[in-house]
Structure 1
Amino acid sequence: MTPLPLVIDASQLASNLDDPSLLILDLSKVATYQQGHIPHALHVDPALLLCGTAPVPNKLPSREQLSALFSSLGLTPERHVVVYDDQMGALAGRMVWTLHCVGHNRVSFLNGQLQAWTQAGQALESGVNTASASQFEAAIDRSLVADVEHILAHLGDADLRIWDARTEAEYRGEKIVNAKKGGHIPGARWFEWTDSLISPNDTRLRPDAELLATLRARGITPDHQVITHCQTHRRSGLTYLVARHLGFEQVRCYDGSWFEWGNRDDTPTES
């Protein structure tokens, strides 16, 4: 199989579509998948990317949960995963992060999602694909995960940048979603996740030089240690993907996100 980068276009996927080592994962809504999906794609319920337990159900699943998920999908170390969704890349980005967390770096993000595939003249198929189960044993790399304690311990670090991927209204505390308090983590830089895309109707990533320049204007550069978050670490799945694609090497995701930070009494905020 031709080696594939982290972000690929439809032609690169099409060239490798029939390679048996390819594992295509569709994180779209069930109805979207049933209407038509990329040939050979397996549907994945996005809820399986969450631990699902209180008090913060949006955190990374346990090792046991991830072992079960990836075994059910037939994942093995030699397989190359391609991910896409119908959520402008947010869920696909979270899947990329999840795979990185279990040490599987052979993964690519389809730039532009399903729309890019069909606009390139590529065919869809209907019906449900199933996988032959594997025995995947997950080991979680915690260096890709930030928790409250880590953030509080490093808030004053000069090389730390917290990338808030929410809307400006959420960042400023004008809109509070499922939290006791609004605002943002002290010192956090705002760059909304959708600003990484060309437009709402063209969900390909903006050119690398544009993204780097925009992030630099917000004080975020590849030499920084970056922690990205949103409300539940769905939207910041895309910003993690963008950072890694742009060459950022020290990127963590705060999977508790504002759902946790905004509901604790011991977490400082700014607005």
Structure 2
Amino acid sequence: MAAVLPTPLISAEALRARLGTDAWPVLLDCSFDLMDTAAGERAWAMQHLPGAHCAHLDRDLSGPKTARGALDGGRHPLPDRDTLAATLGRWGIGPDTPVVAYDAQGGPFAARAWWLLRWMGHRAVAVLDGGLAAWQAAGGPLESAAPTTPVRPPYPASGPAMPTVNAQRLLQGAGDLVVVDARAGERFRGEVEPLDARAGHIPGARHRFFKDNLAPDGRFLPPEALRAAFGRHGVAPTQVVHQCGSGVTACHNLLAMEAAGLHGAALYPGSWSEWSADPARPVARG
């Protein structure tokens, strides 16, 4: 099953064709609202794709904040790998399990789940292109029942399988790297800052709002359009570091690059929430 799962994106039609077969994947409903952190779970309880687990951004897809708060890991630190391995096992995910993540917000939270599974070494994971809306448009059924996926042992992860970059690496001089910020333009330019300590962006960072990866119907742009967009940076994919507010929507840009065939870009997990929390770090505006 795992070998034939379309990745990193799967269409609603392709997913629906698996309904009722042995090829039905483990589904993760990652819907979330940063301003109402219980909203996604409430929506999941009302209706979700058949068998979908609720993957909560704060509880399941992030680690707890440290005593130093945003200074150490930002608003959504990466989860401890052993804890995440146990969570994946609780959802019934093993190395041979196909997994599809989705949300109702254009894909940023599903992309975070996708990246975390890839980080754990799991390759048979895709994001539902167009999310919940695309599934409903394709006539896919919804249910409110709790999932019954058999629990498995903790995921047998090895070392991190996706590259990351920390603030120290960026501070020491990143002339060989291109930092790409996924936040909305007004936040990148420093005109507003509703969530973090200071407004602005990492000096030298370039801007790619994650929603620009989507067509008007909420599905990802064709691979050739994404290749053109990210190719404008003029560097190899392995020289690109993605960041956002807290390491979540940056995963949308990472997913877009993967869908475009541009492999090897890194994530700065702490992102702007970590960077801006330290007054000694430089900030650019405009």
Would you say same fold, with TM above 0.5?
A: yes
1:165 alignment partner, one of 179, 182, 203: 182
- Tell which deviates more after alignment, 179-188 or 219-228: 219-228
2:156 aligned residue = 137
Deviations 1:210-238 (A, max 9, x none): 22223334x25654521111111222121
Where does structure 1 lack aligned partners over 5 or more consecutive residues?
Answer: none
2:171 aligned residue = 152
Distance in 1 between residues matched to 2:61 and 2:258, nearest whole Å: 19
Where does structure 2 lack aligned partners over 5 or more consecutive residues?
Answer: 32-39
1:105 aligned residue = 123
Q: Does 1:51 align with 2:59?
A: no
Q: Where in structure 2 are the equivalents of 1:33-48 lying within 5 Å?
A: 33-47=44-58, 48=60
2:86 aligned residue = 68
Letter in 1 for 2:212: D
Distance in 1 between residues matched to 2:170 and 2:283, nearest whole Å: 12
Distance 1:172 1:220, change over 3 A: farther
Distance in 1 between residues matched to 2:207 and 2:279, nearest whole Å: 23
**Is the CA contact (8 Å cut-off) linking 2:129 and 2:220 kept in structure 1?**
yes
* Matched residue count: 266
Distance in 2 between residues matched to 1:137 and 1:237, nearest whole Å: 23
Distance in 2 between residues matched to 1:154 and 1:138, nearest whole Å: 32
**Is the CA contact (8 Å cut-off) linking 1:89 and 1:238 kept in structure 2?**
yes
Runs of 4+ in structure 1 deviating by more than 6 angstroms, as ranges, are none
**Is the CA contact (8 Å cut-off) linking 2:76 and 2:247 kept in structure 1?**
yes
2:35 aligned residue = none
Q: TM-score, normalised by structure 1?
A: 0.90
Distance in 1 between residues matched to 2:146 and 2:90, nearest whole Å: 15
Distance in 2 between residues matched to 1:224 and 1:103, nearest whole Å: 18
Distance in 2 between residues matched to 1:237 and 1:143, nearest whole Å: 11
Distance 1:240 1:43, change over 3 A: same
Letter in 1 for 2:126: S
Distance in 2 between residues matched to 1:180 and 1:39, nearest whole Å: 40
Q: Does 1:261 align with 2:275?
A: yes
2:22 aligned residue = 19
Q: Percent identity?
A: 30
SS at match of 1:227: strand
Superposition deviation, residue 106 in structure 1: 0.8
2:252 aligned residue = 238
2:7 aligned residue = 5
Deviations 1:66-121 (A, max 9, x none): 12211211111100101101221010000011001110111011100011111112
SS at match of 2:27: strand
**Is the CA contact (8 Å cut-off) linking 2:98 and 2:125 kept in structure 1?**
yes
Distance in 1 between residues matched to 2:278 and 2:168, nearest whole Å: 12
SS at match of 1:65: helix
Distance in 1 between residues matched to 2:196 and 2:172, nearest whole Å: 23
SS at match of 1:163: strand
**Is the CA contact (8 Å cut-off) linking 1:63 and 1:139 kept in structure 2?**
no
Distance 1:173 1:100, change over 3 A: same
Distance in 2 between residues matched to 1:45 and 1:234, nearest whole Å: 12
Q: Does 1:124 align with 2:127?
A: no
SS at match of 1:214: helix
SS at match of 1:46: coil
Letter in 2 for 1:26: D
